[in-house]
């Protein structure tokens, strides 16, 4: 998904989480480029219907110009952008979003992770179960959730379900605990949500699009924003977030009673927290093309074999095998 690197490939945070372009094609028979083009055309229809020019609409949905937008319209809709306004019911021209057959989407489960950013996700289809620290929440189709930084996170989507990342936000002075994570009921269109995903995680986005724009969508705000005072638990959460944001994985200084309270707040023992954060960063760096040796040094491993053993024990594959899988995912 990103500032935290959790979505380096189009519309997915990691090859292990949510979904990959390759899996999307294998499971639906529809490549991500076609799906993305239809979504962009849907947004363009809305802009044109509001009176914006074809050139303006083209640039704001990711096309290089009006001529490319016109070509896409003719290819996918059989008409030109100018003909949109001459038809009697333009509101029915939106290209339908592909309906993914439930039986073609297998169950999916992410590796446990510790993120360095707050990540907002959205149940595009079906129902998913999200575990934040020791708390388990069910996210139904159309609902969303903020995955807080510094907490242990696990996500399981049964067959037929699909969870999409909407964007990410670097934590500010307000940390989010597991108890303050709420189900989000969005008060906006599907097109707006998809635009957030495309803007945050693909090269096809409006100029200067912010990856945290989804946090400005109309929905009930996190209750931590209204917390007037800070207590000891807030300090522990802030400690976990600060460590995650700084990419610090050495947690040996957290001992005794503080370590027990830290584990209670984050849902995982301190040493295990450090390992999961290392592995989260390892996946990010490997997906960017860094060699296993460089990644090992970046994460504080003195010897590559030690890093290989830790990575394999966590993921069931070696760093090189993971990197090979990432390389097979087509880029936009």
Per-residue model confidence (pLDDT) at position 108: 83
Domain architecture of the chain: domains with CATH: 32-92 (1.10.10.60), 101-219 (2.60.120.10), 232-327 (1.10.10.60)
Longest dimension (CA), the chain: 72
Work out the pLDDT band at 269, boundaries 50, 70, 90: confident
Q: Distance (Å, rounded) from C-alpha 19 to C-alpha 92?
A: 29
Cα–Cα distance, 37 to 227 (Å, whole number): 43
- Please indicate whether residue 221 or residue 11 has the higher confidence score (pLDDT): 221
Tally Cβ neighbours within 10 Å of residue 203: 9
Mean pLDDT of 201-227: 67
- Residue-level pLDDT at 306: 93
What pLDDT, on the 0 to 100 scale, is given for residue 130?
94
Least confident of 97-111, 144-158, 221-235: 221-235
Q: How confident is the model at residue 138 (pLDDT cuts 50, 70, 90)?
A: very high
In the numeric block, the tokens 């989804």 are attached to: 214
- pLDDT-derived band at 207 (thresholds 50, 70, 90) equals low
Q: Which residue has the higher pLDDT, 109 or 304?
A: 304
Out of 23-32, 38-47, 219-228, least confident range:
219-228
Model pTM? 0.62
| pLDDT at residue 229 is higher than 60 | no
User: How many other β-carbons are positioned within 10 Å of the β-carbon of residue 196?
Assistant: 27
Q: What are the φ and ψ backbone dihedral angles of 138, each rounded to 5 degrees?
A: -105, 125
Q: From edge to edge, which strands make up the β-sheet containing 143-147?
A: 162-169, 118-125, 143-147, 184-185
Can you say how many angstroms the Cα of residue 212 is from the centroid of all Cα atoms in its chain? Answer: 11
Look at residues 87, 79, 80 and name the one whose alpha carbon lies nearest to residue 54: 80
Residue 232 has pLDDT above 90, yes or no: no
d(CA 130, CA 321): 27
Q: Looking at residues 187-207, what average pLDDT do you find?
A: 80
Average pLDDT over residues 200-219: 77
Q: Is the pLDDT of residue 203 over 80?
A: no
pLDDT of residue 216: 86
Lowest mean pLDDT among 33-42, 151-160, 271-280: 33-42
Q: Return the pLDDT at 211.
A: 85
Question: What share of the chain has pLDDT > 90, as a percent?
Answer: 17
Instruction: Provide mean pLDDT across the span 13-39.
Output: 60
Which helix (DSSP H) or strand (DSSP E) does residue 276 occupy?
helix 270-287
Within 249-318, where are the H helices?
256-266, 270-287, 292-298, 304-315
What is the phi-psi region of residue 248: left when phi exceeds 0, alpha when psi lies from -120 to 50, beta otherwise? Answer: beta
**Per-residue model confidence (pLDDT) at position 7:** 35
**Statement: residue 258 has pLDDT above 90:** no
When mean pLDDT is compared over 106-115, 132-141, 317-326, the highest value belongs to 132-141
Of 128 and 87, the structure prediction assigns the larger pLDDT to: 128
Mean pLDDT of the chain: 77
Q: How far apart are CA 2 and CA 170, in angstroms?
A: 10
Q: Are 25 and 31 in contact (CB under 8 A)?
A: yes
Backbone angles phi, psi at 162, to 5 degrees: -150, 120
């Amino acid at each position: 998904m990103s500032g935290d690197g959790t979505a380096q490939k189009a519309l997915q945070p990691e090859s292990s989480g949510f979904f990959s372009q390759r899996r999307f094609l294998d499971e639906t028979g529809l490549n991500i480029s076609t799906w993305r083009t239809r979504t962009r055309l849907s947004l363009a229809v809305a802009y044109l219907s509001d009176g914006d020019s074809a050139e303006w609409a083209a640039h704001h949905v990711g096309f290089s110009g009006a001529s490319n937008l016109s070509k896409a319209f003719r290819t996918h809709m059989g008409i030109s952008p100018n003909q949109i306004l001459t038809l009697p019911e333009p509101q029915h021209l939106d290209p339908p979003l592909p309906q993914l057959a439930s039986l073609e989407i297998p169950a999916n489960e992410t590796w446990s992770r510790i993120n360095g950013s707050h990540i907002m996700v959205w149940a595009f289809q079906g129902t998913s179960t999200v575990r934040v620290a020791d708390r388990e929440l069910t996210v139904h189709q159309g609902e969303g959730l903020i995955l807080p930084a510094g907490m242990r996170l696990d996500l399981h989507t049964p067959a037929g379900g699909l969870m999409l990342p909407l964007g990410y936000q670097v934590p500010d002075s307000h940390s989010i605990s597991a108890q303050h994570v709420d189900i989000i009921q969005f008060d906006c269109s599907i097109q707006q949500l998809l635009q957030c995903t495309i803007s945050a995680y693909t090269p096809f986005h409006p100029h200067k699009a912010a990856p945290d724009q989804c946090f400005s969508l109309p929905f009930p705000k996190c209750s931590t924003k209204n917390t007037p005072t800070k207590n000891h638990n807030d300090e522990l959460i802030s400690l976990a977030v600060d460590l995650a944001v700084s990419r610090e994985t050495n947690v040996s200084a957290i001992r005794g009673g503080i370590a027990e309270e830290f584990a209670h707040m984050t849902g995982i023992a301190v040493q295990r927290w450090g390992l999961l954060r290392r592995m989260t960063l390892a996946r990010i760096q490997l997906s960017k093309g860094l060699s296993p040796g460089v990644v090992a040094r970046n994460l504080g491993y003195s010897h590559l074999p030690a890093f290989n053993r830790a990575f394999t024990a966590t993921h069931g594959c070696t760093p090189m095998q993971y990197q090979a899988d990432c390389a097979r995912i087509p880029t936009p």
